[in-house]
Amino acid sequence: MLQWCLNAVWTGLRPRKVSMGSGSDQMSLEFGESDQTKDNDVADERPRPMYVEAIRASLNRLLERADITVWLMLDKLDEIFPRWSDVERTGLTSLLKSSYAFGGDRVRVKTFLRDDIFEHLTSAESGFPGLTHVTARMSSRLTWTSDDILQLIVKRLFNNGLRDLCQVDVQRMQANQEYRQECFYKAFPSQVHTGSRQSSTLDWVYAHCQDARKVVAPRDVVDFLLATRDAEMQILRSNVDGKSDTVFSSAAVQKGFEAMSLKKRQVFLEAEFPHFRAHILRFDNGPAIYPAGAITELLGSSAGAIVDKMCKIGFLERKKHRGGDAYSIPHLYRPGFNIRQTSA
């Protein structure tokens, strides 16, 4: 790395030897003579690296002549760095600034960033200098409504033999929202829990897949569908001669949601936020609602800072409870943590 940087900056200057100091915070470079003569040193004749600005200008000229416009799509940036760390903030801030600087008339950089990550980048004490330039072409926030989730579900369900079994008209399903609901209830029961005060299955799925920020992630819905399918297959194996009016039973829906909730805990909270793990584990087998005093007792003197971060990642929701401030764990995480439907 040091050798490459020196090559880029000082023409003709190449360290023949690079050594690190003995101390953990010390570093030194030693410039010695090569074992080979300069005439035989092929590396000296290599072309020097180009600056990014030169690369951009050359690329834009080439694309201009070919009359081509290129879009660079950057996604899954939450998987690059440890979540909510200084490394993530520095790395992604630099990436966003570089993306803005690299773009041009022929090269457009499109970056997809989750809301909680963008909030983390902009909430630092040092701020985000130049943010207005980075967000100048920012699109509106992408949200998934109940109808969007319905469309996602029915397209996934009726993309194979299930379409013929349930006699679904795919073209009509894509064009008509009411018919999409009709198709949905060919596969799912009308309610997960029966009763006049209980919601419909579609409303139940949408509400239970929301995190504390009222955001529904399509990935969670897909995981729920896969887990529900697996749960229904287990039920069918235990009762081969059983009959049902729908593809998925209420029991399979509940088991599928429980499996998805546990996976969400493991692959999102525990995997992406290992520095929160000790705090998160304290909510195991606990109540769903914590008044302000109870949350302080649970998390200790630094509860305020911890709760603030947990609200930002969608694990806790601020709300009013019995006339006072409280924090609630959304339905999305309750089965995964074996949460009781009570108040602390």
Q: How many Cα atoms sit within 13 Å of 191 on the Cβ side?
A: 7
Q: Where are the beta strands (DSSP E) in 67-129?
A: 70-74, 107-111
Which one-letter DSSP state was computed for residue 266?
I
User: For position 221, what pLDDT does the model report?
Assistant: 96
Q: Residue type at 311? A: C
- Give the integer Cα–Cα distance in Å for 75 and 247: 35
Q: Are residues 197 and 225 located together in one domain of the fold?
A: yes
Overall domain count for the chain: 4
Q: Are residues 174 and 262 located together in one domain of the fold?
A: yes
Neighbours of 203 (CB within 10 A): 13
Say which CATH number the domain at 284 has: 1.10.10.10
> Is the pLDDT assigned to residue 25 strictly greater than 70?
no
More confident residue, 46 or 184: 184
Please report whether residue 58 resides in a domain.
Answer: yes
Provide the whole-model pTM. 0.74
The token pair that represents 159 in the structure block: 């993309």
Please report whether residue 141 resides in a domain.
Answer: no
Q: Are residues 76 and 160 located together in one domain of the fold?
A: no
Q: Are residues 73 and 114 located together in one domain of the fold?
A: yes
Write out pLDDT tens, residues 190-216: 999 999 999 999 999 999 999 999 999
Write out pLDDT tens, residues 127-146: 777 677 777 767 777 889 99
> Is the pLDDT assigned to residue 36 strictly greater than 50?
no
Q: Are residues 161 and 239 located together in one domain of the fold?
A: yes
Q: Are residues 258 and 311 located together in one domain of the fold?
A: no
Please report whether residue 79 resides in a domain.
Answer: yes
Q: Are residues 41 and 57 located together in one domain of the fold?
A: no
Exposed (0-12), middle (13-18) or buried (19+): which is 178, by Cβ within 10 Å?
exposed
Q: Are residues 157 and 112 located together in one domain of the fold?
A: no
Domain extent for 15: 2-45
Q: How many Cα atoms sit within 13 Å of 295 on the Cβ side?
A: 25
Last residue of a domain, one of 134, 157, 188: 134
Confidence of residue 74 (pLDDT cuts 50, 70, 90): confident
- Contacts (Cβ under 8 Å, ≥6 apart) of 119: 312
Q: Are residues 158 and 125 located together in one domain of the fold?
A: no
> Is the pLDDT assigned to residue 60 strictly greater than 80?
yes
Q: Are residues 201 and 255 located together in one domain of the fold?
A: yes
- Give the integer Cα–Cα distance in Å for 318 and 311: 7
